[in-house]
Copies of this chain bind each other. A is one copy, B any other.
Amino acid sequence: MGTQAQRTEQWADVTPDAARRLLTAAVEAFAERGYHATTTRDIAGRAGMSPAALYIHYRTKEELLYRISGVGHRLALGILRRAHDGPGSPAERLADAVRRFVRWHAEHHTTARVVQYELGALGEEHHAEIVALRRETDAAVRAIIEEGVAAGDFDVPDVRGTSLAVLSLCVDVARWFSVDGRRTPEEVGDLYAGLVLRMVGHGNGVRAAGA
């Protein structure tokens, strides 16, 4: 679950304080019991507020999920875009993207699970908006891989499929990561950066005669 600071930092832009407390309460409730088994009364109770106070900030339970999903997806997209726009070779930028993306999913695994597993509960318009953010996320990873291929640094027969696999590998960290496990978020990030460079045929550490 990361530290308290890591858990709250992601909601720093949500104001006022009561709206932020309700979002974090909703994440915990959705993660524990699932979206459909959670009521707005549960969420208000966890935040130490009345249901009436909740409705000042969010009209529906779905709006809470939509806000959580939006914050999560925008943070993830920001991480990948900054890595894409950063200095260094495509390999350095891809490794940086993977390290940061993995660390985010490990440290914020509770939020990430809600964001990933409850997509189907969003209303139609909200779903379309989140899907558009997901396409931009895919595009950011694909762009780094394409730049590596263009530079002759990567060897990737299927760029779209490989981009999808890289993102999937990183996102799934949120499912299995445990603070009681063997590895820190940084260690998982380092391991995965190396594996992803192999996936794109950068060949770090791969024996030339291996095949």
List of B residues within 8 angstroms of A175 by Cβ: 116-117, 168, 171-172
CB atoms of A211 and B204 under 8 A apart: yes
Any B CB within 8 A of the CB of A53: no
CB atoms of B207 and A211 under 8 A apart: no
How many residues from A make CB contacts under 8 Å with B?
A: 45
| With A165-B169, A172-B172 as contacts: A208 and B203 at CB distance below 8 Å | yes
- CB under 8 Å from chain B, chain A span 157-184: 157-158, 160-162, 164-165, 168-169, 171-173, 175-176, 182-183
CB atoms of A168 and B172 under 8 A apart: yes
List of B residues within 8 angstroms of A1 by Cβ: none
Any B CB within 8 A of the CB of A155: yes
CB atoms of B202 and A210 under 8 A apart: yes
Tell me the bound Cα distance from A119 to B168 in angstroms: 20
Identify the interface centre among A162, A165, A198, A205: most chain B CB within 10 Å of its CB: A198
Tell me the bound Cα distance from A110 to B209 in angstroms: 41
Tell me the bound Cα distance from A33 to B210 in angstroms: 48
CB atoms of A199 and B201 under 8 A apart: no
Identify the interface centre among A153, A199, A201, A210: most chain B CB within 10 Å of its CB: A210
Return 25 A-B CB contacts under 8 Å, by A number: A33-B37, A34-B36, A35-B37, A116-B175, A117-B175, A155-B206, A155-B210, A157-B194, A161-B191, A165-B192, A168-B169, A168-B172, A168-B176, A171-B175, A198-B199, A198-B201, A201-B207, A201-B210, A202-B211, A203-B203, A203-B206, A203-B208, A203-B210, A206-B206, A206-B210
